[in-house]
Amino acid sequence: MHAQTVVARLSPVPTSLVFVALAIVCALFADLQISASDPWADLGRFGWGLLTPDFLHSQNLLSAVLYTVAFGVLGTVVGAVAGFGLALIFRFRIVRLGAAFIRAIHELFWALIFLQVFGLTPLTGMLAIAVPYAGIFAKVYSEILEESDAAPVRALGKDARPISVFLYARLPDAWATMKSYTYYRFECGLRSSAVLGFVGLPTLGFFLESAFSQGYYSQAAAYLILLYLLIATLRVWLPAKLTVPAALLCAFALPSGTGASWESVQRFFSHDIVPAPLRDGIDLGSLAQFGDWLWMLSVNQVWPGLVNTVLITQIALVTTGITTLILFPLISRKFFGWLGVGSGHVLLVILRSTPEYILAYILLQIWGPSMLPAVVALTLHNGAIIGFLIGRTAERLPVREDAPRGLNLYGYEILPRVYGQYLAFLFYRWEIIMRETAVLGILGVHTLGFFVDSAIAEIRIDRALFLLLVTAALNMAIDATSRRLRARMQLKHRPDC
Amino acid sequence: MDFRLKDRTLGYAGKAVLENLSLHIETGQKVSLLGRSGAGKSTLLKALYAQSQNRAALIPQDTALVQTLSVFHNVYMARLHIHPTWYTLRNLIWPARAEIQAMTPLLQRLGLEHKLRTAVGELSGGQRQRVAVGRALYQDREVLLGDEPVSAVDERQARDVLALICERHDTLILAMHDVELALAFSDRIIGLADGRIVLDEAAANLRSADLKFLYQGEHAASQSEAADAQASPPDPIALESY
């Protein structure tokens, strides 16, 4: 008999307070100022642009929409198919680690890598979405399969073939959930696809950035509003049944040239990604140089990038949490009338449909460079997502006849019941917030992505790759920490009634 | 206060449970509602509560406690309407000593004084039910409405709890699961069956054998109810956060 280690349960509220304290410490070291000389005037001009979107003079509207849809749909479908395959063999540690690794790297980073290999081609756009999505699908599918009812499997004989057992007894129970999750991911795929424009692919983000940077706010607004419309009407133009045929159509419609010669692929793997000091062979001298290379890279880029990424992540995690607590009652009839809940829904839909990357870009242009735009963008986007989910739960909670109203209802009845679920979602998104924080560096905030982007601009792919490995490691560490914390707090996604 | 229903049809979700019901309950009466499950006791209680206009306290059947909050907080909820919001929110974060002291005698009577700071989710079913009773009593309303308030408490404690309820309230309307307890602690018995009142008598005139007819066919009824309560399919909501 071996002793069973009993781990004490962590209390949710004190744990939350520790995170708040950490965020306050981080805020002391973070650069959170508005440096633009007249930020509100710019904000006003952009606001005016939003009210007067210019669809007529915006160029390439149709092609931007088509490319956004094509990359988004194709990338999501390929990612889902690959992720399903990975989910079937998810019990192998190497598969779990591999999936964690590919989803730890943001789709924009994947785009930067594939741009080096395949150039500015549709293949780059498709793979940039499909690869990280495959990692996410693998994880979520395997979780769904795990949670599916195991009783039918036990009822079958031990001599039944594994594939038949899976198809008859496991998959049917999980299928509906998997389908609805996959369909939801198309919305994310469209957002990701739009953002790919920021590294040069011809999607909505590309034209939004160029219009915005020239001060054509009404045109920029047109691209943004088109993105909202695309996402809002997804269920109309892409019914769940048509997703796979649509993906096939996209695959055939896109120009097929890879733009990559075999040599360029070969060069990428045998030369570009090899640390510069080691390219001419490995001997004592080059190893010593490699040591220096590693040291300089760590001190000058990895360390500052890591510190800034963690600072912003921890601040944004807590501000997201606070914002969620304010936002979720907005969509519940328990707190507001029809009109209030209606406008609450509109606000949350707009906030969560705006990719944090685009939001951060706009705020950076308006407020000037600091960590503030990144924190605010992450907070608004993620707060709206979790706020929507918690608000929906709160709305469904049965409340006794004699329950209090207003703030008392919030504090005594609703919040204590949804708090576990709220923390579970927040910790779930911790890793996502970090991944986004890293990638916001491309916009100029000095997180890890900033150094990755600079290295690629200097065609120092070896450095970029090393920085990306560090980024992935940080992300996997946060993922693991979050999982342990959720287990220690026994957080479930369901509300405590 | 008096309760009056005249030719009312009561139900939920568009389904009539009690039809053409007329009923008058006077101040000072201790009434027990009896009948098998599904007979309409809860429906009647809800209608009476709706009529009470904040002059009655309610013990709901499913206790409706907040599992993650302590016993103190769950009972303290009874008085949220008395205090300003800033003060109740302060007590949510840090209970005031005065509030704890004010509540202690009641918790002692309910045998919960040592559980003051325990989260309700960690209590047994009987303890939870006593917390729900505590929350209703602590409201100090004129009338107490209770939906099977002692169904999960053991026999001896059930008598203590009912004695406490009778001590605190002159006017009581309780749906009861136990005929003996109903006869012992009330002075008027109302029996419900087939969507109407089939019995309305002073408790003193009744013995438990007289009430058996109310429960005929109980077994079959509870079986079909269990089938209705089958779990709904899992909610994919959690996944959308990813």
> How far is A411 from chain B, CA to nearest CA, in Å?
7
Structure tokens at A470: 């560090």
Q: If you average pLDDT over each of A148-162, A258-272, B86-100, which comes out highest?
A: B86-100
Cα(A383)–Cα(A23) distance, integer angstroms: 16
* Mean pLDDT for the stretch of residues A291-313: 95
pTM: 0.85
Residues in A touching B89 (Cβ below 8 Å): 407-408, 411
**CB-based contact B199:B214 (threshold 8 Å):** yes
Cα(B94)–Cα(B218) distance, integer angstroms: 47
For the ranges A186-195, A205-214, A399-408, which has the lowest average pLDDT? A399-408
* Mean pLDDT for the stretch of residues A107-131: 93
* Mean pLDDT for the stretch of residues A395-418: 90
* Mean pLDDT for the stretch of residues A14-19: 95
pLDDT tens for residues A228-273? 999 999 999 999 899 999 999 988 888 766 566 778 888 888 888 8
For the ranges A370-374, B83-87, B91-95, B231-235, which has the lowest average pLDDT? B231-235
Which residue among B73, B92, B242 places its CB closest to the CB of A140? B242
* Mean pLDDT for the stretch of residues A358-387: 94
Please determine, for residue A493, whether its predicted confidence score (pLDDT) is greater than 90.
no
For B47, nearest residue in chain A (alpha carbons): A401
Confidence at residue A257, expressed as pLDDT on a 0 to 100 scale: 62
For residue A32, the surrounding DSSP H or E stretch is none
pLDDT tens for residues A327-344? 999 999 999 999 999 999
> How far is B235 from chain A, CA to nearest CA, in Å?
8
Confidence at residue A297, expressed as pLDDT on a 0 to 100 scale: 94
Confidence at residue B225, expressed as pLDDT on a 0 to 100 scale: 44
Cα(A303)–Cα(A301) distance, integer angstroms: 6
Name the band, by pLDDT with cuts 50, 70 and 90, for residue A171: confident
Better pLDDT: A150 or B111: B111
Q: Average pLDDT of chain A? A: 90
For the ranges A30-34, A164-168, A182-186, A361-365, which has the lowest average pLDDT? A164-168
For β-strands B56-59 and B143-147, DSSP reports them as parallel
In DSSP notation, A95-161 reads: HHHHHHHHHHS-HHHHHHHHHHHH-SSHHHHHHHHHHHHHHHHHHHHHHHHHHS--HHHHHS-TTS-
Structure tokens at A390: 């918690």
List residues of B whose CB lies inside 8 A of any A CB.
Answer: 46, 49-50, 57-58, 60, 64, 66-69, 73, 77, 80-81, 85, 88-89, 92, 121, 139, 233-242
Which residue among A389, A400, A407 places its CB closest to the CB of B240? A389
Please determine, for residue A325, whether its predicted confidence score (pLDDT) is greater than 70.
yes
Name the band, by pLDDT with cuts 50, 70 and 90, for residue B233: very low
Confidence at residue B229, expressed as pLDDT on a 0 to 100 scale: 39
Confidence at residue A1, expressed as pLDDT on a 0 to 100 scale: 42
Confidence at residue A492, expressed as pLDDT on a 0 to 100 scale: 65
Please determine, for residue B184, whether its predicted confidence score (pLDDT) is greater than 60.
yes
Please determine, for residue B216, whether its predicted confidence score (pLDDT) is greater than 90.
no
Going by the DSSP 8-state scheme, the letter that residue B186 receives in this structure is -
A210 Cβ neighbours under 8 A, 6+ residues apart: none
Confidence at residue A495, expressed as pLDDT on a 0 to 100 scale: 52
Structure tokens at B209: 């054998």
Please determine, for residue A347, whether its predicted confidence score (pLDDT) is greater than 80.
yes
Mutation site, A144, A402, A492, interface B, largest B CB count within 10 A: A402
